[in-house]
Structure 1
Amino acid sequence: MVMLSSALLLATVCGRRMYPEGRIVGGEKSSFGKWPWQISLRQWRTSTYLHKCGAALLNENWAITAAHCVDNVPPSDLLLRLGEHDLSTESEPYLHQERRVQIVASHPQFDPRTFEYDLALLRFYEPVTFQPNILPVCVPHTDENFVGRTAYVTGWGRLYEDGPLPSILQEVSVPVINNSVCESMYRSAGYIEHIPHIFICAGWRRGGFDSCEGDSGGPMVIQREDKRFLLAGVISWGIGCAEPNQPGVYTRISEFRDWINQILQF
């Protein structure tokens, strides 16, 4: 029996959906197992762990999220729930798994003022077992800009600004836009924002579809030609939710692949 190296094994399973198809605004409920890398990142609050942000599964030991989700939070206060779909029920085709966080590796250049370098990797105490609703997403090998491609954003964030949190994972599709177009859209909405290449923007000029509070740290994925999904961005910031000319801004993962691969060695 040939043992595959873990990197090779990961390359063969990442970004695939095994399940048959069945801060998100203007989106729709997703079906069970459709986004198997999506994680609910929870933080301890007085008596229980509450959903705070999204995250995405990179391999059996590591997840990725936004640094601002875990800034100044001790790892012992964090819990990752993998394979979750509907927060209100326990009776799903496959159960979710929960993992405590051993290491939080935030990007050393993260700036909480500008949200630049808004990325953190989380190592679990015990590895997770892949199953149809728990599978890793692929990390880009090259720096494609993805402009004009359709990106899919998922999360349990608010359904609209100051609105309710859904119990079922939501999904929305948004087009990736050029950073300078993104800056000019914000300008026309009255905001002067500098959006360097370490960010990637996605959204509609007319608004109506976006990530929202509680989606931060979650994945923005793009489907490759071989039908597998690549992690193009991690939800970082926006102004309001789904407002016209105010697209969502994501940490561009292709810019950080060397840093990610370096940390994953641990």
Structure 2
Amino acid sequence: MSRLLSALIAALLATSVMAEAPQIATSDPMIASPFAYAKSGAKAERGRSAAEAGAKVIGGEVAPDGAWPWQVALLVGGAPINTDAQFCGGSMVLDRWVLTAAHCIHMPIEDGSFADLRPDEVSILVGTNTLTPGSGDLIPVETIFRHPSYTGTQFDFDIALIKLARAPQVPYQTVEVPDAEYGDILNRQGVTTIVTGWGLQEGAQPSPQLRQAEIQVLDRQLCNQAMLEARAEDAAGGFGYAVQTLGVAETDAYAIWDELVARAPDAVSDNMICSGTFEGGKTSCNGDSGGPLVVPVEGGGYIQAGIVSWGLSATSGHGCEETALFSAYTNISKFVPWLNEVIEGNP
């Protein structure tokens, strides 16, 4: 048990009154889908309120015109091209294939289960960095493929493919993805990465312009330790109250706590990349879900190492934690066999 967690339990055992559990920054896989958020009008409503932090590439800058030509926007099907209709990002990996996150196309429904979006519920905007009417090429979707191991109740296996009804009719480029061996090289601490996406800016003001931020791969074990301590701090209040209420002996309480912490699964799994900055303040946020995390390669060009998967919720309960050290990205190199199987099986 770390000294931080031990101190937390000791403090809780020493008091007779449980304080309100602190609201910490943590990942929340049970939130409503980005699609439902945009379709409901909640995104537009939050964009009109300058009091709330917005979803954006935190600490980023506006991308130059023509930069990141593989970047696409997922829009609510049938909606006009604007920031309110955009709910996720993606990348062109072949002329009719878009790579995105599974949580962008797999959403909770009224009975509590999850279901994939229908193709007619999504349109893909290609060939533009600006979400304005008349920009780019808005393309219907033919088929949606979610990784079969993604369940909707957690963020592991957070990857999906979208087949377009036709090839884009505007200038664009596809981006390469790494195989398993190259992926291991890219997923090392200190490797430079760039995340791109659309979203609300400071003060929750909507921006139609694509943004970019340079960050770096962080050690996955360090990210998991940070997440474990944050989640344990949030859980400690309830645990201390239960111990006091049930009259559990202090030595037993420590043993039970150690067992709980030991059984907690890693937040950042082997299928994920942890990327951010040691000083914080540069990361992706929920409006960027499904978008690419790319790595510059020798000789020029980029390779897509990750897909924006999940970040940290703001302590206010609104938006994202703007001082967060990192976000998690699906490690594409772990899923190349599945990508090949889907694409080859659906010519």
CA distance in 2, matches of 1:61, 1:197: 29
- Equivalent residue number for residue 140 of structure 2: 100
Aligned to 2:98: 63
Aligned with residue 138 of structure 1, among 176, 192, 196: 176
Secondary structure of 2:69 counterpart: coil
For the structure 1 residues 48 and 34, does the alpha-carbon distance in structure 2 shift closer, same or farther, using more than 3 Å as the test? Answer: closer
For residue 111 of structure 1, report the CA deviation from its aligned partner.
Answer: 2.5
Matched residue, 1:8: none
In structure 1, what is the Cα distance between the partners aligned to 2:327 and 2:282?
9
Q: Within 5 Å, which residues of 2 pair with 1:169-188?
A: 169-188=210-229
SS of the equivalent of 2:77 reads: strand
C-alpha distance in 2 between matches for 1:208 and 1:244: 4
1:252 aligns with 2:331: yes
Change (3 A) 1:202 1:242: farther
Identity %: 30
What amino acid maps onto 2:201 in structure 1? L
2:204 is paired with a residue whose SS is coil
Output aligned runs, 1:35-50, within 5 Å: 35-44=68-77, 48=80, 50=85
Report which of the two structures shows the higher radius of gyration computed on alpha carbons.
2
What letter is aligned with 1:152?
Answer: I
Shift of 1:140: 0.5
1:87 aligns with 2:87: no
The answer to whether the Cα contact below 8 Å between 2:88 and 2:291 also exists between their aligned partners in 1 is yes
Give the deviation of 1:264 after TM superposition.
1.5
Mind listing any 5+ residue stretches in structure 1 that lack a counterpart? Answer: 1-22
Deviations 1:112-158, CA, capped at 9 Å, x for gaps: 12211111100011122572xx1001110233224311110000023
Is residue 166 of structure 1 aligned with residue 207 of structure 2? yes
- The count of residues paired between Structure 1 and Structure 2 equals 236
- So what's the TM-score if we normalise by structure 1? 0.82
Give RMSD over aligned pairs. 2.0
Is this contact kept in 1: 2:289–2:308, CA < 8 A? Answer: yes
- In the other structure, the counterpart of 1:212 is 285
Q: Partners of 2:92 and 2:178 in 1: how far apart? A: 14
Structure 1 residue 205, shift from structure 2 partner:
3.1
User: Which residue, out of 138, 151, 157, partners 2:199?
Assistant: 157
Task: Supply the distance in 2 between the matched residues of 1:147 and 1:157 (Cα, whole angstroms).
Answer: 27
Paired residue type of 2:219 = N
The ranges of structure 1 where at least 4 consecutive aligned residues each deviate by more than 6 angstroms after the TM superposition are none
Q: Runs of 5+ in structure 2 lacking a partner?
A: 1-55, 107-115, 233-263, 314-319
- By how many angstroms is 1:172 displaced? 0.4
**Structure 2 partner of 1:34:** 67
Q: Which has the higher helix share?
A: 2
Q: Quote the residue 1:13 is aligned against.
A: none
TM-score (norm 2): 0.64
CA distance in 1, matches of 2:322, 2:225: 15
